[in-house]
Chain A
């Protein structure tokens, strides 16, 4: 463990709290052996919240500041102390600084895909995108391996899923809300609530009529997967539309105002609260997005005035809320953009901006078996690359699956019969679960 005293303000006595990734990590083939031998704690989470920060958030201005770097790299933000001694983050994340003991910062995460879409696919799946095959989202895998009951969907995306079910097939696609909730207002999802003008009695009456009329293929149904599937989806749809359970889970106005206020009044914060309600009611994975990180220009004012306050309120509210409800132990949280941003500030505008930079980025993890209040991995003096061994998106994905009790070496067959390992090249980051 070699940490520089000067680069990011970490003092010697804090070394115990701040680990860097040990050489090698854990190779996947060893996974089962190690798990059996009790050398890695098994995952404790059975549900998850995945927060995407599309655009690529600047690591240098958020969770990996370099106060001692030259000014053309450092930027104008200062770092502040958190409630974990030795860990410092951006001054514009004061609320998260107060709950730093609940999450783990991964620094020096590194890959090579500098295009938004490719980077997104990579961090969303833990496998480098290849043309022949689309890897499934985390949620689709969870929906397949640990489905929820029929009234509650397994997978919800607020408002849309950046990553589809890939080779697992459409049946594992997310229920997309297509909209985001607003503070203090009731909320629902397209199609699951009965619209104005039709009552439950009438829906039941219609359903009854449908059942009487839809019998042309009743003899074939048992033998035909398609007809059988259609029938199942039909009755699932009916129970979702008519049961109050799903509607109730989506209706954030059920939360007391004092609870809702913890999340801030922005729609991202309210989406975080919705995600909490959904995992509480049995949804396996909720994915959320907070965009606007593609700060090629005016990096600092955009972050300070817009993105950071939203992230700060929403994410701190989420972690606090999960803990208050006793859900943090069973809910794996994963926050990531598709890449970091260039250390050197460009001068395209007076204020300056930062460009795409996959060689060095940060990610956050919390919940389940994840030990909060630590930093894993480290970037070099100018946050231009990992100081030691890089953490890869593959490693983080393998760890996320592990946290959820899913073996990252699980094998699937694609629709073409090609065998595929869930995470090809990942190593479980053991320090996460220390």
Chain B
């Protein structure tokens, strides 16, 4: 959080993280609630949020659905062995597909030949199969091999959460 130059600003930002990381309360004015907790004016609180967002410490401020509970129970980690020279263009193209939630370039590694990862989500096995086909079509000859790894079980899934002790350390 490099936007926070002074120690007290950093403490404030950490306090904001611990207050909001599990979600805002569903009250008429959640930012006024946050301002009260932070002992700031609403204007200063909104400015702090916008500053953290501009700095990249906040990725987005949004309503985050649980896609699984909305019926999107199928996900596939598609992995692709893509020509390195074409990666910048193709990575962006794949990442821009509306059914892709994450798209990363990762290193090849010994027995692991795949350098492009794209997560696809759908409501049926057929649906995610069709997304994979579409990605294969988009990559064309630039792709030498691919696989789709479907999840058989979620064993652990938690957002990265700062422990509340981080607040004490920051203060």
A and B: bona fide binding partners: no
